Amino acid sequence: MKTVSAGFVEASIQGLRLCSKIQLSGHYSYAAEHRPLTMRILVTGAAGFLGSHLTDRLLTEGHTVLGVDNLSTGDLANLAHLACEPRFQLEQRDICSPFDPGHVDYVFNFASPASPPEYLRLAIETLRAGSAGVENTLEIAARYGAGYLHASTSECYGDPLQHPQPEDYWGNVNPVGPRSVYDEAKRYAEALVMAYHRSRGVKTHLVRIFNTYGPRLRPSDGRVISNFMMQALRAQPLMVYGDGSQTRSFCYVDDLIEGIFRLSHTAEHLPVNLGNPVEFTILECAQAVLEATGSRSELCFGDLPQDDPARRCPDIAKARTLLGWEPKVQLKEGLQKSLEFFRASIGS
């Protein structure tokens, strides 16, 4: 690995160069046609859980990727396998300060703390990432005429009163509660993205991501799958908040990245939900983790955090119609595919 003292890490791996499965034109449209097209792409949050998987997919498609991450929640280990990849470069920097990456053809903005412990610990930084950071990356897209995809969240729906949640549901969000630093940052970011599309003509896309899990999900990030997997593997009680009747849906990371990739090549500018529409109670999720790990851990119960959603499940009708997409990996299989990663994390 070649390093530069100013915080840059350049990394790469000789790999398979594939023709892109997507045809690009003045307006992006999804196509099954194979064409040898490559782009220089900026991925912010590249060392994070989703950013690193997205980087892998873009490199597999034959593109060149400039990754940016301030490493406040990202992990260089997520990119270690790219140590000799000549088409990948990582730059350590904070997107909240303006920067010029040079000409890029596409910007994927995935830079933000994303789990409750992280965005509560980094409350002001989370708000800045969703405001100044988003604006700076939109300016880059505007400057170079690049496509732009922003990673938004199901948290835009807050504690929803409508189930499942379609994209035209405006949500039920507490604007001053503890979670508001993340919820409102993402809601403001969506407004900013649409403003750049309407006022500056930037070719923008918005994906609302529902609960996602898989390898590289930080074991200590406080999300339900990582919590349960690590507790089960350590033979600790599984901590259930509330009575466990609240529901979530869980999308395996490979399915999510496929949906994001398809969305990035459409002409759709309004938000699109991506997630698994199969709903589980937290108690059902805990039982699935116990079965996957073979653990005999018991359950224990704690107080429900403030503004924790009672139900969360995506309506993916738009993604099915627009992208021909729906998740393929169900929870039982996804937990098995994630098991080796979490086992390896026990000793690290």
Domain positions in the chain are 2-213+251-277+313-328
HEC readout, 62-118 = CCEEEEEECCCCCCHHHHHHHCCCCCEEEEECCCCCCCCCCCCCEEEECCCCCCHHH
Rounded to the nearest 5°, which phi and psi values hold at 187? -70, -45
CATH tag for 2-213+251-277+313-328 (out of 3.40.50.720, 2.30.30.40, 2.30.30.230, 3.90.1150.10): 3.40.50.720
Distance, in Å, from the CA atom of 149 to the CA atom of 31, rounded to the nearest integer, reads 18
The model's pTM is 0.89
Distance, in Å, from the CA atom of 316 to the CA atom of 341, rounded to the nearest integer, reads 29
Distance, in Å, from the CA atom of 294 to the CA atom of 290, rounded to the nearest integer, reads 6
At 221, is the pLDDT very low, low, confident or very high (cuts 50, 70, 90)? Answer: confident
Q: What is the pLDDT of residues 92-113, one digit of tens each?
A: 999 999 999 999 999 999 999 9
Three-state DSSP at 211 gives: coil
**Residues constituting the chain:** 348
Rounded to the nearest 5°, which phi and psi values hold at 44? -90, 150
Q: What is the pLDDT of residues 235-267, one digit of tens each?
A: 999 999 999 999 999 999 999 999 999 999 999
Catalytic-role residue among 119, 148, 182, 252: 182
Q: Is the pLDDT of residue 72 over 70?
A: yes
| Of 17-26, 140-149, 211-220, the least confident | 17-26
What is the pairing mode between strands 64-69 and 40-44? Answer: parallel
CA 265-279-302 angle, to 5 degrees, is 120
Is 182 an active-site residue?
Answer: yes
Closest CA to 135 of 171, 167, 111, 161: 111
Distance, in Å, from the CA atom of 56 to the CA atom of 228, rounded to the nearest integer, reads 27
Q: What is the pLDDT of residues 169-206, one digit of tens each?
A: 999 999 999 999 999 999 999 999 999 999 999 999 99
